[in-house]
Amino acid sequence: MCYKETDAFCKDSRITKTEVCNGINVSREKVPLKPFVKWAGGKGQLLSELRKFYPEGLGETIKKYAEPFVGGGAVLFDLLSSYDFEKVYISDVNAELINTYCVIRDEAENLIELLLKYEKEYIPLDDSLRKSYYYAKRRRFNDLKGNGAGSIGSECAALFIFLNRTCYNGLYRVNRKGLFNVPVGSYKKPTICDPANLLNISYALKNIEIVCGDYKKSFDFIDNTTFVYFDPPYRPLSPTSSFTSYTGDGFDDLAQRNLAEYVSLLTKVGAKVMVSNSDPKNQDPEDNFFEEMYRGFRIKQIKASRSINSNSKGRGKINELLICNF
Ligand SMILES: C[S@@+](CC[C@H](N)C(=O)[O-])C[C@H]1O[C@@H](n2cnc3c(N)ncnc32)[C@H](O)[C@@H]1O
């Protein structure tokens, strides 16, 4: 199945300059790329602030970019929309998310075909039928996820995007058995498939190293020409405000300390490093957790409005931290 009137997908989404692929403009020029999923802690709303802190020389003296906690990739896509890097590295411990990045890079056409099918089936349904459709897709996703090898491929990626677009608040949460358990959301007309964005992302990801696993696997990639952005799971503002895990694994204070040590190591290597986190001073002005860990680094407070928070009272404007070694 193709979208628009033309009859076949482009065999290769690497189009020579701006061309029309099945009615969709796909460009070799730099175009704005948007994250293909909503993601907890996503930095889309903060980009105008974060850009002020990007290092100088991006795409020139800074030839490489690494984002080891990539999530929805708001900063990745912002940078790829504007700069040419010789090499880019992304990673995450969420295997289904990383599978989706790989499928967008390698099999965008298959993925779009499936997503357009889901969109066509889902959108006309009433609330009750949408609910049944959603839970059937959730079961199928968990079946694929459960048998391991099945999670590799375009069906799992399409289900991952469909569930993200139609579930409650775009959350990704799993139960103890590792099964995705977010209930259906209530969006009137969710965008399930954005073919132009997916094809543009596919082109932009062509030469990128995409790794499933711990952020420390990035060590061999990073050198003194690399800009590294770390956006780890937030340190919870209070014991109850903790967003229940993205993957089933927590990221506690010891994990935050280990990350700070890794950042010091990369500083010695000569990389330009930027780290985001929540600001504990929102709750306790005396809490110097990050100042103590990141001595000698530049620490800035920036305003953020969180969109995913289990406690609705926590939704207002709060500060976040941006920690830089440059
Ligand atoms: C705050 S989110 C990143 C959000 C991202 N900046 C965005 O704009 O969407 C943190 C990500 O780190 C991932 N993660 C958690 N522990 C990790 C680890 N040890 N190594 C790599 N990624 C990890 C989570 O799966 C999650 O996707």
Q: Which atom of ligand 1 is nearest to the CA of 92?
A: 22
**Token duo for residue 196:** 């132009």
Question: From ligand 1's centre to the CA of 25, what distance in Å?
Answer: 31
Question: From ligand 1's centre to the CA of 319, what distance in Å?
Answer: 19
Asked whether 247 lines ligand 1 (CB < 6 A), one says yes
pLDDT at 53: 97
Mean pLDDT by 10-residue block, N- to C-terminus, for the chain (326 residues)? Answer: 35 47 65 96 94 97 98 98 98 96 97 98 98 98 79 92 97 93 96 98 96 97 98 80 50 95 98 96 90 96 66 64 97
HEC per residue, 153-210: CHHHHHHHHHHHHHEHHHCCCECCCCCECCCECCCCCCCCCCHHHHHHHHHHCCCCEE
| Closest C-alpha residue for ligand 1 atom 17 | 93
Sorted by sequence, the CB contacts under 8 Å of residue 253 that are 6+ apart come out as: 235, 289
Asked whether 94 lines ligand 1 (CB < 6 A), one says yes
Asked whether 50 lines ligand 1 (CB < 6 A), one says no
pTM: 0.89
Asked whether 41 lines ligand 1 (CB < 6 A), one says yes
Asked whether 78 lines ligand 1 (CB < 6 A), one says no
User: Which helix (H) or strand (E) segment is 75 a member of?
Assistant: helix 74-82
Sorted by sequence, the CB contacts under 8 Å of residue 100 that are 6+ apart come out as: 36, 37, 156, 157, 160, 161
Asked whether 229 lines ligand 1 (CB < 6 A), one says no
Instruction: Assign domain 31-324 one CATH number from 3.30.365.10, 3.40.50.150, 3.40.50.2300, 3.30.1550.10.
Output: 3.40.50.150
Which 3 state secondary structure label does DSSP give 274?
Answer: strand
pLDDT at 283: 84
Give the residue extent of every domain in the chain: 31-324
Strands (E), 217-271: 226-230
Closest CA to 76 of 231, 194, 245: 231
Question: From ligand 1's centre to the CA of 276, what distance in Å?
Answer: 11
